[in-house]
Amino acid sequence: MHKIEGVILDWAGTTIDYGCFAPVHVFIDIFKHAGIEVTMEEARAPMGMLKMDHIREMLKMPRISGLWEARFGRAFNEQDVENLYAEFEPALMSSLKEYTDPIPGVVETVRELKEMGLKIGSTTGYTQSMMDVVVPHAGSKGYSTDFYITPDGTNSLGRPYPYMIYRNMEALKLSAAWKVIKVGDTVSDIKEGSNAGVWSVGVNNGSSELGLSLDEFNALSKRDQETAIAKTEQTFIQNGADFTIKSMSELPQLIVRINYLIAKGERPHKALTK
């Protein structure tokens, strides 16, 4: 039938860990230990990528690469990436279970999606060892998916490559890319979905792109909340999102809308060309 068969969700910042804070502070800390002060914005910019790739992308940023050369008298190399990651992984693992609470509304929304007959897959920038912590702890709090895969299962080719989505489609027996929706909270998520040829949706509340804790967001005036959300929406759209939603609770209604578009012959935007 010409309708959506499955939804593939990101984890941190989309379905758990409001604001995607688990990795952010660790990225800041490992660079600080190396004598480099990085900003919250710089630490968040590559979010959603395999964490080794995330570190590499941070080191490529002009300001950070300049600080690195000033401190060490040379450009960074792959050994530096590996050294930073060797510090990152155990630091993250030690606190990861504390960042597995489902984002408000997610458990109910996923239940509704399953009642609609949809299969629920997932992709992540976490490694398998990290997900070995995340999955059972999130499950004990009511959130689970039908399938998940990490970049470890795609030869370390994580986002923005589309391969984790393809593995979901295979495992869940989803018949065509245009019958699949990918939902995420980072630019890397959006590009992953676009590159896979599926409907790519950015979620705002709780997202790494928004970059606020629940308390911080609630403390904003309504006008400031709307301004922050509008900025996040624009970032998603500029990077290839077909749609944005303010929260996961809007997803079931969006699926009804997409099914209507599919029935009219419309398909997702083509994969990004840059």
The series of mean pLDDT values per 10 residues for the chain, 274 residues long, is 93 97 96 97 96 97 98 98 97 96 98 98 97 98 98 97 98 98 98 97 97 96 97 97 97 97 89 36
Instruction: Please indicate if the annotation marks 185 as binding a ligand.
Output: yes
Q: Write down the pLDDT at residue 271.
A: 40
Helix (H) or strand (E) holding 200: strand 199-203
Residue whose entry in the numeric block shows the structure tokens 């490694």? 127
Helix, strand, coil percentages, rounded to 5, for the chain: 55, 10, 35
Question: In angstroms, rounded to a whole number, what is the distance separating the alpha carbons of residues 75 and 56?
Answer: 12
The answer to whether the pTM exceeds 0.85 is: yes
Interhelix angle 187-196/163-172, rounded to 10 degrees, is 60
Q: Are 197 and 178 in contact (CB under 8 A)?
A: yes
Is position 189 annotated in a ligand binding site? no
Domains in the chain, please, with CATH?
A: 6-20+100-263 (3.40.50.1000), 22-98 (1.10.150.240)
Catalytic residues: 10, 51
| 242 appears as a binding residue in the annotation | no
CA–CA gap between residue 267 and residue 247 (Å, rounded): 23
Tens digit of pLDDT for each residue in 133-164? 999 999 999 999 999 999 999 999 999 999 99
The residues, ordered by sequence, that sit 6+ positions from 246 with a Cβ below 8 Å of its Cβ are 203, 204, 205, 229
User: pLDDT for 95-120, tens place per residue?
Assistant: 999 999 999 999 999 999 999 999 99
